[in-house]
Every structure is written in structure tokens, then in C-alpha cells.
Structure 1
Amino acid sequence: MRNPHGTPIWYEYHAADADRAQAFYERLFGWQVAPSGDVAGMDYRIVSTAGGEGVAGLMPRPHPDATPGWLFYVGVDDVDAAIATAQDAGGTMLMPPVDMDGVGRMALLADPEGRPFYVMRGAMDQPSRAFVTPPYDGPGQMVWNELTAPDQERALAFYARVFGWRHEGGMPMGPLGEYKFVHAGDTCLGATMPVLPDGVPGWLFYAQVDDIDAAVARVVEGGGTVLQGPDPIPHDHFSVVAADPDGARIGFVGTRSA
């Protein structure tokens, strides 16, 4: 999987209980989860849409004190150069680069405020479809990446150095600041926003669903909690932020059928 430099290539969930997380997300998004069989001694599961598109990995959290949650892999032209740039811009390396046969080269980094993310150069020419922009293939793919940052400009300056991202357009939120769209080349990846009252800093990822209200019902039925929404967004869609049974945040967007 090789994507243009600076675009998401994969997502990954670190679970307190991998079986419980698998059941929740299969129910919520209609995902199909199966063992990868590629990493000896590691419980790493591949998450795919009902249409067979690979979206993410699901694995037990690396150590018992780690917080359950979602991360993403961002495609780069050169992993080692991206590491050097990130460190020069104030980031840190959490996991040194590793090569996986048939998968690619990757490393785990953190931005200057400690938010973790992966950089990756895929081994295959075929691009990943884990993250898509309109028109969508169907439910279950990731469609928006949102960073809540105490200092938006500092955060964007870091990611601009590493990935070439830029702010272009946005939506004013009055005295709370501005919801600023983030682009890599011609692709709108998502947005950055300031930390709102009672807000949680960090990355939040949104998946596409067919019906927003049905997805909300599945969150509750699966033992999760709706934190915000459904809120109207452009193009007759609605957005929801939820927490899974372990408290990890996930977003989703979709239309309302009724």
C-alpha cells in the first residue's frame, strides 16, 4: 500500500479486550475482523468493510497501562527522512523503524504534545482505501481525521513540516475559535480545532455509515455511549462522536433515512 506523501494509509485500534472491541465494532460498522496470521506471537487482526476493503488493524494494547484508542498511519515517501524531520520539529520517536515483508517500513512517532501516530512506506504499489473522500465506496471506510489541539497553529506547523499539510478554508465557531480544514495536496483530510470546554485533545477518526440513527442505536446496544450528536453537517449528513465500551472515542458520519 503506497499512498501519496502525507495521506492516511491505515488505522489501528489498541484494545483493553480485543474480543470485546471486535464485537462492538463489527456490530457498529458492519466490519469483518479476522486474524492476520502475519506476525508470529502477536494477536493482530485485520479489519475490513463488508465490501472487502482493508481499513484497520485491531490488537491488544501494548502494555496494561496503555490507554485504549485509535491511531493512524500516514504514508510518507521516506520513513527515515520523516523521522528526522519530526524530531527536528520537536517530535519524538516511540518505536524505531521496522520492516515487515510484504507490508512496508514503519515507525511510531509522537508530535510535540505527545499525540502518537505512525509513518509508513508501503511495500506494494496499490494504494490503500482505508481513508476515502467522496464519492464513498460504502459504509465502514474512514472519511475524516480531526485533531483537537490546545494550540492549533503549533500543531499544524509540526505536521506541515513532516507531511506538508496546510490549512485551507474552515468554519468559524465564534469565541471558541475556528474549525480549520487540513489538506494534503488536493485532498481534504479533515480539520483541526481548539479544545472546547470539556473537550478532549487528540486525534479523532470518523467512519462512514449508511444511516446515522441506526448507527447511534448500535452504539448503545453494543455497550457504548453517545458523546455528541447527531449534529448536522454539510451535504445533508450528520456526525456523531461516541465512546466504545472501553471509553475510546470514535466518530461516524451518515445521512438520516427517516
Structure 2
Amino acid sequence: MAKPTGGFIWYELMTTDLDAAARFYGAVIGWNISATSASEGQDYRMIGRSDGGAAGGVLKLSKDMIDHGARPVWLGYLHVADVDAAVAAIEADGGKVQMAAMDIPQGRIAMIADPQGAPIYLMKPIPPADQPDAESDVFSVDQPQRVRWNELQSSDAEASVAFYKSHFGWTQEGEMDMGPMGKYRFVQHDGVGIGAVMPKMEAVPHSVWSFYIGVGDIDRAVAAVTAGGGTLDGAVMEIPGGEFSVHCSDPQGAAFGLVGPRKG
């Protein structure tokens, strides 16, 4: 699971219906979501890729979580060298703790909201005993069934860029002018373009991360979204490089994106 600190090393879907999520994402992405929990005390299932690797996990929202305002959502995990120190530094910089630091078999984690309110996990992972040099491959710039783009809609995009540069060692090079919507600022980690930060759109209630998942055929995947009870939150759009992307919501309401080529 090791990677240079500051990168995305895991993704997690929180949802109200794990079996429905397994059917939906299996049809749309090609994932195989386990039918049994990988954790004691909560229903947490692993997301498997066609190549045998892991793409992330799915957590069932408990009644208590829902009663406290939790809703279906995709969240990312950022690798840090020291969870407690990172939490303290983020709190001092205006962030908020959403879930206190705790140990799990895979490492130490915490959930924070950045100063603009976007939630994200922090994690210091423990690599498998038989693979001490293992690296996470849940993010890829070009492979299907992995997250390929991380996009933050922020109530203060400039401040968000400064925050992630300061706490996670990101860089910000390049931008795209979106006219009245503002600038789409590209961000990099360890020399790789990992996503972008943009001003929050008016219809979005609060700052939030969105994750675009790679597919082999965007039109096939879009058809599976609608056939499976999901919705498209906009039109399929061509992006630089000749591929296409679209923002969607799954049947339980978790937002996500798709990116991939058009084969037709």
C-alpha cells in the first residue's frame, strides 16, 4: 500500500444497499464487489477488478450514521506519514475532524473536512506482511476499473489549492478557463496529474470531491448507468486527449464520474 505521502491510496463507497451497489457497479464498471464482509462489526466489502486487483471498498451506512446526517457518497483516502500529526496540522489550518484517528488492521485512519468543508480520509497504511514494498494502484491515469481523475469543487478554489499543496505536497500547474464558472486548476502529485480544483457549482450544496472511474467504452457504461437505475448529471463531454467523461449518480444517490474512450 506504500506510495509517496500525499497521494490517493484507497477509495470507498458509503451506501445504504451493498447488494444493489454490487449489481450496479458490476454492470457499469465491471467490478466484482464481494458478497461477504471483510470486517467484523460492520458490513465492509472489497471491490475487485477484472485483473484480480482491488479498486477500493464499500461500507454499509448504519442507522446511526444516517441519523447523524451521513448519505451515500464516494470518499478518497490520502496517504500521510503520521495521521495524528496531519490531523493536528489540518485543524490548526481551519479543517475539522469528522472521525477521530483510529487503528484498523490495514493501518491508522481519520476523516477530516478541509477548510472549505470537503470530507476526505487520511491514512498511514500497513503493507501486507508478505508484500512489504507493495504500492496502491487504485488510481491510474489511463487504466479502466481504477479512479483516473480526482476533482474538487470548492467554495474557495484558490484557498483549496494552497491547502492541498501545503499539507500533501501537491503542485498546481496549468489551468483551463471555464468562463463565468471560473478556472479549472490542474493539480499534480509526485509529478503526475491527479485531478483538478474548480469553483463549486451553484447547484452543489457544499465543497466536495468527485472521482472519475475509468471504463473501456463510455457509451456502454452510460447505457448501463441508466439501465441500472442511475442518473446522468449532465451530458457526455469530450475531454482533452480525445476521451469522454460524464458525471453520474448511482441509484442510492452517490455521485461519481466516468471517463473513457468512445468505441462506437
In the superposition, the TM-score normalised over structure 2's length comes to 0.91
Tell me whether 120-129 or 204-213 shows the greater mean CA deviation. 120-129
SS of the aligned residue for 1:229 comes to coil
Partner of 2:85: 81
Partner of 1:237: 243
1:29 maps onto 2:29 in alignment: yes
Q: How does 1:203-242 map to 2 (within 5 A)?
A: 203-242=209-248
SS of the aligned residue for 1:72 comes to strand
Partner of 2:139: 131
1:72 maps onto 2:80 in alignment: no
Paired residue total: 254
Aligned-residue Cα RMSD (Å) equals 1.5
Tell me whether 30-39 or 216-225 shows the greater mean CA deviation. 30-39
Is the contact made by 1:6 and 1:76 (CA closer than 8 Å) also made in structure 2? yes
Is the contact made by 1:170 and 1:178 (CA closer than 8 Å) also made in structure 2? yes
Is the contact made by 1:237 and 1:255 (CA closer than 8 Å) also made in structure 2? yes
Q: How does 1:9-28 map to 2 (within 5 A)?
A: 9-28=9-28
Q: Pick from 107, 110, 113 the counterpart of residue 110 of structure 1.
A: 113
Shift of 1:37: 4.8
Shift of 1:213: 0.6
> Deviations for 1:9-48, whole angstroms, at most 9, x for unmatched residues?
0000110222212211111101011156542121100001
Q: How does 1:135-146 map to 2 (within 5 A)?
A: 136=143, 139-146=144-151
> Deviations for 1:183-212, whole angstroms, at most 9, x for unmatched residues?
123021100111234345411000100111
User: 1-side partners of 2:111 and 2:202: how far apart?
Assistant: 30
Q: Which amino acid aligns with 1:256?
A: R
In the superposition, the TM-score normalised over structure 1's length comes to 0.93
Partner of 2:169: 164
Considering fraction of residues, name the structure with more strand: 1
Partner of 1:154: 159
1:60 maps onto 2:60 in alignment: yes
Q: Which amino acid aligns with 1:120?
A: M
Gaps of 5+ in 2: 128-132
Structure 1 pair 228–42 and aligned structure 2 pair: CA distance change class (3 A): same
User: 2-side partners of 1:47 and 1:33: how far apart?
Assistant: 4
Structure 1 pair 199–107 and aligned structure 2 pair: CA distance change class (3 A): closer
Identity of aligned residues (%): 41
